[in-house]
Amino acid sequence: MVLIDNRYLVLGFLDSVLTTLVLGDSMPNDARLVFIVTIINLITAFMAEYVEERSSLRHIERQLLMRRGSLLRTSLHRRAIYDALIKGLMFGAVSLVGSAITVLSMGIKVLWIPIIPIVALGSFGTLMSKYFGGNAAFWFILYVILGVIASFTGHVISRL
């Protein structure tokens, strides 16, 4: 059974919103933007999870004094690939939602700053304080600042 950690869901949302803010003004086709951000995050999450699962299998091999690669040809390895694929798909689904919400709400701006995505970043930033420790206000401010920087970067890129 694949257990999806809520941290991954929050990180998927935050990553997709920040990426969409950077690329948003420079891509005229909103559907293409959402698709690109989702695919990038899906592949990145799958690869990260697969590397972690494979590393775990190698660690088990060393503890059991097995010759290298013997667990990589077992059903345990296939299960690790399956788990990484499921986690990557979940991360991609959350990225799809985060990117779509950002694209749909980017029209409400003050200067170059889209208000709704920035507030969403701050709100999800407070969840980061729960998962990684620290002050909720600090994480809120940190992600609001990151969102403003990402928006400004996207604004500058679109002008080039």
At 50, which amino acid appears? Y
Parse the chain into domains and list their residue ranges.
6-159
Q: Model's pTM, two decimal places? A: 0.79
**What whole-number distance in Å separates Cα of residue 120 and Cα of residue 101?**
10
In angstroms, rounded to a whole number, what is the distance separating the alpha carbons of residues 100 and 97? 5
pLDDT tens readout for residues 26-39? 787 888 889 999 99
For 46-69, the pLDDT digits (tens) are 898 888 888 887 777 777 766 655
Question: Which pLDDT belongs to residue 102?
Answer: 92
